[in-house]
Amino acid sequence: MCLIVSRRAIFGYCRRRTEILLLIVVVFGSSILNLLLKLIFQRVRPDIHRLVEITGYSFPSGHSMGAFSFYSVLAYLLWRHIDSRTGRGVLIAFAIIMIVSIGLSRIYLGVHYPSDILGGYLASCAWVSFMVRYYERRMGKRAFPDA
């Protein structure tokens, strides 16, 4: 079976490469920011009721930062391509559920304090906001062009 790729598909992909680049920069940048913040704060992990043994510093939560970065920038990018209110509502609900679930799971496992999760969310929110603003200025686009 041959795979035939049209020019339209190729050019559509090329137009989307800046969006893919934004996703990659946000996710990897969030990981680097997390490492820097852990080195600055050097907060020890909780030692009570731990279900999983894990090493390293606690603040901010890397899983929470990664989840917030990935799902929020993904929602931002997909929002622009979804026309229906229902589709957008499902997208936002999915992103929120994933972000909150991952944060709560870290507390449940006993490897983070709630403040670690909140700190991860806030640091990641600042990073994502900075990158989205930079992206929009660079591309000359608004976050929600039809709003």
112 catalytic residue (yes or no): yes
CA 144 to chain centre: 18
Given 112, 120, 127, 135, the catalytic residue: 112
Provide the H-helix boundaries in the chain: 7-41, 62-79, 85-108, 114-139
Going from the C-alpha of 147 to that of each of 63, 73, 79, 142, 143, the distances in angstroms are 32, 18, 11, 10, 9
Other beta carbons within 10 angstroms of residue 18's beta carbon come to 13
Q: Which residues contact 139 (CB under 8 A, 6 or more apart)?
A: 18
Given 63, 70, 95, 116, the catalytic residue: 63
Structure tokens given for 2? 């041959």
> How many CA atoms are closer than 13 Å to the CA of 23, on its beta-carbon side?
12
Catalytic residues: 63, 112
